[in-house]
């Protein structure tokens, strides 16, 4: 559900940026950086892991579509909703800025659709269900709730933007079922990852007082492997949003319509180091391994981890000097 700028109007884009900034500010206040200092390395490595995992699109059988892990529910289950929202915001910003994945104008929309609903609505559902059922059922139901809300939010944002090319009812009827299927897969993947983490570090369910170096190292290595190797085998089929747009209007993208859209498009093209997770001018392959995609996965993983962990390093250095 990485929306392109052409799907929304400048007014809606600015409004969603404002909403995202407000939620991020509130999350920063709730997340006591000093008290949660030990959580920052885990935030960094989990952010890198989600970045890498989002590069792997899995095919949805019988549809011609694909999906990928959103990561909001996973992050919330392991970090709490505030740290999760901030972590996913950084991931999405780096994707838009350096890889041209999701529009700059649509950044606020993407954070709300992928982060707000999963961290602040789906996660409480997960917490309630985990007490009554098992981790698998709780994860699947919560993931479906988060993605259904996010998918419908996309439709509402295009409606508010006056995108008459996308009929509200038709677009909804494609968006909701395909993201139901994606949500089920995400729920299964989320439960599997949480189960692995809890077996490795069970105290994460209640506290993070003890060192987590081994877990951070394991997740970091997995992120590099996923981004650097397994990303090359991702499905090339259109994702749920592209698939829905195509079936609603016969093309998988809309054209930019305003000077703001064109200006931001040029800015994004100039800033993107590896647009569409590949080398500029196209990449090369060694067998099934796409070199451009692998380089993008490795570089992106490092950028996300550093961007999130920088405060941790600065705080430690400042305290040492003090």
Residue-wise pLDDT for 271-318, tens only, equals 999 999 998 877 688 888 899 999 999 999 999 999 998 877 776 677
Among candidates 306, 303, 295, 285, which has minimal Cα distance to 228?
Answer: 295
Give whichever of 113-127, 193-207, 238-252, 272-286 has the largest mean pLDDT: 113-127
Domain positions in the chain: 5-212, 226-243+271-321
Residues 6 or more apart whose CB falls under 8 angstroms from that of 115 comprise: 72, 84, 85, 88, 89, 92
Residues 6 or more apart whose CB falls under 8 angstroms from that of 295 comprise: 274, 279, 283
Q: What's the mean pLDDT when you consider all of the chain?
A: 90
Rounded to whole angstroms, how far apart are CA atoms 294 and 307? 20
Q: What is the pLDDT of residue 37?
A: 66
Integer angstrom CA distances of residue 60 from 134, 180, 211? 25, 11, 39
CB neighbourhood size of 166 (10 A): 21
Q: Yes or no: is domain 5-212 CATH 2.60.40.10?
A: no
Read off the pLDDT of residues 56-68 as tens digits, 9 standing for 90 and up: 999 999 999 999 9
246-250-252 Cα angle (round to 5): 35
pTM of the model: 0.92
Among candidates 15, 99, 29, which has minimal Cα distance to 280?
Answer: 99
């Amino acid at each position: 559900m990485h929306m392109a700028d052409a799907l929304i109007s400048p007014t809606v884009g600015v409004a969603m940026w404002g909403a995202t900034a407000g939620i991020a500010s509130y999350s920063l206040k709730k997340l006591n950086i000093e008290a949660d200092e030990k959580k920052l390395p885990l935030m960094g490595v989990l952010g890198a892991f989600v970045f890498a995992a989002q590069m792997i699109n899995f095919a949805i059988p019988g549809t011609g579509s694909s999906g990928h892990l959103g990561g909001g529910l996973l992050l919330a289950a392991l970090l709490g909703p505030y740290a999760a929202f901030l972590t996913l915001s950084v991931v999405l910003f780096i994707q838009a800025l350096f890889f041209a994945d999701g529009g700059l104008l649509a950044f606020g929309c993407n954070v709300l659709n992928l982060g707000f609903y999963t961290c602040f609505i789906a996660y409480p559902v997960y917490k309630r269900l985990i007490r009554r059922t098992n981790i698998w059922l709780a994860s699947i139901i919560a993931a479906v709730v988060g993605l259904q809300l996010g998918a419908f939010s996309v439709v509402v944002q295009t409606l508010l933007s006056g995108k008459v090319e996308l009929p509200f009812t038709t677009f909804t009827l494609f968006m909701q079922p395909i993201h139901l299927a994606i949500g089920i897969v995400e729920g299964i993947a989320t439960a599997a990852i949480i189960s692995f983490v809890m077996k490795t570090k069970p105290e994460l369910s209640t506290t993070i007082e003890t060192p987590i170096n081994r877990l951070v190292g394991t997740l970091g290595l997995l992120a590099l492997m996923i981004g650097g190797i397994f990303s090359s085998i991702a499905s090339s089929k259109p994702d749920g949003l592209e698939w829905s747009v195509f079936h609603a209007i016969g093309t998988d993208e809309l054209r930019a319509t305003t000077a703001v859209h064109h200006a931001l498009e040029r800015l994004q093209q100039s800033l993107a180091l590896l647009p569409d997770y590949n080398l500029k001018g196209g990449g090369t392959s060694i067998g099934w391994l796409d070199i451009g995609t692998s380089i993008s996965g490795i570089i992106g993983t490092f950028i996300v981890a550093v961007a999130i962990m920088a405060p941790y390093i600065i705080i430690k250095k400042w305290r040492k000097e003090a």
